Amino acid sequence: MSEKNPEVRTRVVHVSAASRSYDVHVGAGVLGEVGAIARAAAGGSRCCVITETNVGPLYADAVEASLAAAGYGVAERLTFPAGEEHKTLATLGALLEGLAERELTRDDVVVALGGGVTGDMGGLAAALYLRGVRVVQVPTSLLAMVDSSVGGKTAVDLAAGKNLVGAFWQPAAVVADVRCLLTVPRDLLVDSVGEVVKHAVLADPALLGDLTGRPLVAGEPDEARLVDVVAKNVSIKRDVVDADERESGIRQTLNLGHTIGHAIEAASGFALGHGSCVAAGLSVVARASARAGWCPDDVADAIVRCVAAQGLPTGTDVPLDELMRYVAHDKKRHDDSVNLVVPERLGAARVRRVPLVDLGALVAHDLEGADL
């Protein structure tokens, strides 16, 4: 597979949310089509790109050229400092002032270009400015493509915690160009595969098998495979979010691996990547589930093998009492139990109410027995 294979077909995944339906375009080289896609999906006459200091210099010129070619008047772009520490109300305020200075109207369009931080910031700015203007999301990190591009959640952090202020604001369209992944630091790319494995465990055993056979991030980028995997992940998240509108609670299964994963992340002082912590959490919960009889042993084995094949951690060396202290603080805690998402078979998970003492006992066994 050549690095830039012109044959790679763009995949379009349709998402219908209650408030708005939209398409997620996943392709190789689709950045040049942002203008035409925005024109068809959002209309309007002017656009403003919101981006950050790492991504803007790499891709904003191409996106703005595409917007201009589609007939948009392109306002001076808004660039905020990259990094989670800038996902704040202060940055949000500056972006809103910037949109007002550029005299963007209700007919105009915000284009959020960057990773998950930019998607959240740009999406929330669009939700609030003039009580809501259209936004086209252009995710440039793997996490943003496979996770935050679907579901319509936007948020900023408070000192008290992450994502505490936000809104549901569906985009008019999403354009995910896997060529943007070429410039993402390799460690971050590998880290984000943790969420990809989670999606595969939840809904796609064939994808899990494919990932177990070959790491997603290795050697020359395989654009066709990346397009396929991103499109599958978007579909999986779309289906879970859709199903939740009919049967409340299914969305919770997206937290698979996160109860233990968040605890590992917090115990590391957020030094470990979120995806790696989810991968470790997924492995720990899979083995605990097999031990408890909630899933067959071979299901747990398949999950752990896939995590290992991606070069992600399959366990943790956080001491049990510390781990359980963080689990007890998890927001999904009810009294002395947690709502734990457990795999049942490959492609299906469910939520179980598990007493903390039982979870502690299952995990203790795991930490002692695991080959870490």
Ligand X SMILES: NC(=O)c1ccc[n+]([C@@H]2O[C@H](COP(=O)([O-])OP(=O)(O)OC[C@H]3O[C@@H](n4cnc5c(N)ncnc54)[C@H](O)[C@@H]3O)[C@@H](O)[C@H]2O)c1
Q: Give the catalytic positions in this structure.
A: 131, 153, 195, 237, 247, 251, 255, 258, 262, 274
Task: Write the DSSP string, 246-280.
Answer: HSTTGGGGGGTTHHHHHHHHHHTTT-S-HHHHHHH
310 binds ligand X (CB under 6 A): no
170 binds ligand X (CB under 6 A): no
- Taking CB under 6 A as the binding criterion, the range among 179-187, 204-212, 294-302, 306-314 that sits at the site for ligand X is 179-187
- Taking CB under 6 A as the binding criterion, the range among 12-20, 138-146, 225-233, 281-289 that sits at the site for ligand X is 138-146
Contact assessment for residue 275 and residue 262, using Cβ atoms and an 8 Å cutoff:
no
DSSP structure class, residue 83: S
143 binds ligand X (CB under 6 A): yes
Q: How far is the CB of 155 from ligand X (least distance, A)?
A: 6
Q: How far is the CB of 205 from ligand X (least distance, A)?
A: 24
Contact assessment for residue 38 and residue 189, using Cβ atoms and an 8 Å cutoff:
no
* Contact with ligand X (CB under 6 A) among 178, 184, 290, 327: 184
Query: Rounded to an integer, what distance in angstroms lies between the CA atom of residue 243 and that of residue 16?
Result: 11
Query: Which residues sit opposite 339 in a β-bridge?
Result: 353
Comparing CB distances to ligand X, the nearer of 21 and 163 is 163
Q: How far is the CB of 168 from ligand X (least distance, A)?
A: 10
Structure tokens at 278: 């989810």
Burial degree of 131 (CB within 10 A; 0-12, 13-18, 19+):
exposed
Q: How far is the CB of 364 from ligand X (least distance, A)?
A: 30
144 binds ligand X (CB under 6 A): yes
44 binds ligand X (CB under 6 A): no
Query: Which residues sit opposite 341 in a β-bridge?
Result: 351
Query: Rounded to an integer, what distance in angstroms lies between the CA atom of residue 152 and that of residue 53?
Result: 24
Q: How far is the CB of 243 from ligand X (least distance, A)?
A: 17
Comparing CB distances to ligand X, the nearer of 104 and 193 is 193
**How many residues in the chain?**
372
Q: How many CB atoms lie within 10 A of CB 127?
A: 19
122 binds ligand X (CB under 6 A): no
DSSP structure class, residue 145: I
Say which amino acid occupies 290: A
Q: Minimal CB distance to ligand X: which residue?
A: 116
* Contact with ligand X (CB under 6 A) among 37, 50, 55, 127: 55
**Which residues contact ligand X (rule: CB under 6 A)?**
52, 54-55, 58, 82-84, 87, 114-118, 120, 140-141, 143-144, 147-148, 151, 153-154, 162-163, 180, 183-184, 188
